[in-house]
């Protein structure tokens, strides 16, 4: 098997056994990027090949040290990375080179990985479609005319195209889950607090976004999660680290006795394009075949209340974080319309509206906790649409129902994100047009290991990423064209 087809687990084992050298892994990675990235545009700000090969060769004779020893990684372009251009997809920061690493990046480096560059993301991570005026659009390896989703779209596309063995991502509104579903890989949103952020900004109200792992196998997710998780003493609400890899490797051979709630489209509140619920039904059949009991569950909370709460708190946080940019006319002019909408909405909020939203969020958390007393997990679709045209900013309607914001078409991820639950996207196969889809396996807060173990059992039974890799052929134009397609 070629190196690029190996999992991070297999590569790490081969390096530890002196059956594979880090320099061989790096050469295979860079060769693959050179071959397919021009068509996909997933990896950006790639470092010099000679410098990367020198770093890898320096590890060839060194004793393996760290869970990611010798593995090449590219960091999502929302995380500051020392010495490598970090832009947040924004022309405001197009030339920014950080002097220090974010905590997550520092932990990845300390585990022995070699950072080769960045993965593409939407501007400021806003929107589940990866395009920006700095690098252009990323394309889906399964159809170069389609989006890989976002905001971790570059990471998902790089994984699917075998450019990287694993990747980091981040998730506020499905950004670890949606692109994983669109690219036939795994993306795990951890319980909020398991993977800490960096101190320095607001940290008590900002509890809806988290970083997490992406990979082509659940064991690889667990390997990376073990590296990036664990408390930051300078941040509140932290959860303790665990040996997730060992727990996942010991996953049961079946799911007998597990009770899983199927929430579907939330009683019609979350319209899904034709074929998506049917694809998820196939995933549910796998769970049943492994011994789980799947129970249809009525919508447990009013969807519109969750949505209004979501857009209120999200806008409040965006306004607070980006007020300085908003107050500078020159920088405001460089913000994309979706970001401007978030900030301007936040600027108009009253304290009463924010308090009411937080109250609804609190009630939903309590309701969800009670529901989990009767179920081991919930399952929902990961996305409401199939991967759409790369030149489209966002889906305007689903089944004739108009979307009233740039992100309403991803409303299905809101129940999880609003209250910080762990959620794993698992692939469920392909639709009639040959495009991938996934479903979310959702656990109670703090039940990350249990969700991953369930996902590992599902993975062993399906192997969707391994059995159905993309065939990447030149089609759909060149990524450079995306700058004119998307506009500025």
Catalytic residues: 76, 151, 175
Distance of CA 191 to CAs 214, 240, 425, Å?
Answer: 15, 11, 14
How many C-beta neighbours within 10 Å does residue 53 have? Answer: 16
Is 52 buried (19+), middle (13-18) or exposed (0-12) by CB count in 10 A? buried
How many C-beta neighbours within 10 Å does residue 98 have? Answer: 16
Helices within 372-426 (DSSP H only): 414-419
Cα 172 from Cα 208, distance rounded (Å)? 6
Cα 304 from Cα 196, distance rounded (Å)? 30
Of 170, 153, 392, 401, the C-alpha closest to 271 is: 401
φ, ψ dihedrals at 391, nearest 5°: -85, 0
Is the CA virtual torsion 462, 465, 466, 470 positive or negative? positive
Site of tokens 């959620």: 423
φ, ψ dihedrals at 107, nearest 5°: -70, -40
Cα 120 from Cα 137, distance rounded (Å)? 8
Is the CA virtual torsion 445, 382, 86, 244 positive or negative? positive
Put the strands of the sheet holding 166-171 in their side by side order. 166-171, 210-215, 186-189, 423-430, 436-442, 377-381, 259-262, 293-296
Cα 49 from Cα 57, distance rounded (Å)? 12
């Amino acid at each position: 098997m070629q190196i690029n087809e190996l999992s991070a687990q297999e590569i790490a084992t081969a390096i530890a056994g002196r059956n594979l050298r880090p320099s061989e892994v790096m050469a295979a990675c860079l060769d693959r990027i050179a071959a397919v990235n021009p068509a996909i545009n997933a990896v950006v700000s790639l470092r010099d090949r000679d410098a990367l090969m020198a770093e890898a060769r320096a590890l060839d004779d060194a004793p393996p040290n760290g869970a990611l020893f010798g593995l090449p990684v590219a960091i999502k372009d929302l995380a500051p990375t020392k010495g490598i251009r970090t832009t947040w997809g924004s022309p405001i920061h197009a030339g920014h080179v950080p002097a220090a690493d974010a905590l997550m990046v520092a932990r990845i480096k300390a585990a022995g990985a070699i950072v080769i560059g960045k993965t593409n993301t939407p501007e400021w991570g806003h929107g589940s479609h990866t395009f920006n005026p700095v690098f252009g659009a990323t394309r889906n390896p399964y159809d170069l005319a389609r989006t890989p989703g976002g905001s971790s779209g570059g990471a998902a596309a790089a994984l699917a195209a075998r450019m990287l063995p694993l990747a980091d991502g981040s998730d506020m509104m499905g950004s670890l889950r949606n692109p994983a579903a669109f690219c036939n890989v795994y993306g795990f949103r951890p319980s909020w607090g398991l993977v800490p952020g960096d101190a320095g900004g607001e940290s008590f109200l900002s509890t809806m976004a988290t970083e997490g792992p992406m990979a082509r196998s659940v064991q690889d997710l667990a390997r990376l999660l073990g590296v990036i998780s664990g408390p930051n003493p300078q941040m509140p609400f932290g959860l303790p680290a665990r040996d997730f890899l060992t727990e996942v490797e010991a996953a049961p051979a079946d799911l007998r006795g597990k009770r899983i709630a199927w929430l579907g489209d939330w009683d019609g509140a979350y319209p899904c394009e034709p074929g998506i619920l049917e694809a998820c039904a196939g995933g549910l059949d796998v769970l049943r075949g492994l011994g789980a009991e799947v129970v249809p569950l009525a919508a447990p909370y009013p969807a519109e209340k969750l949505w209004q709460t979501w857009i209120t708190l999200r806008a409040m946080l965006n306004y607070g974080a980006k007020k300085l940019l908003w107050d500078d006319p020159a920088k405001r002019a460089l913000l994309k319309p979706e970001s401007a909408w978030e900030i301007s909405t936040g600027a108009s909020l009253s304290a009463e509206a924010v308090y009411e939203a937080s109250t609804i969020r609190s009630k939903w958390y309590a309701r969800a906790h009670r529901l989990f007393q009767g179920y081991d997990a919930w399952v929902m679709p990961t996305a409401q649409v199939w991967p759409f045209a790369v030149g489209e900013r966002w889906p305007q309607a689903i089944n004739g129902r108009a979307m009233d914001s740039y992100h309403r078409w991803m409303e299905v991820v809101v129940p999880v994100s609003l209250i910080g639950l762990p959620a794993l996207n698992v692939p469920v196969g392909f639709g009639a047009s040959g495009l991938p889809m996934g479903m979310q396996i959702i656990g109670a807060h703090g039940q990350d290991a249990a969700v991953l173990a369930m996902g590992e059992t599902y993975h062993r039974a399906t192997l969707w990423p391994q059995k159905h890799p993309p065939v990447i052929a030149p089609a759909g134009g060149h990524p450079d064209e995306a700058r004119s397609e998307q506009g500025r």
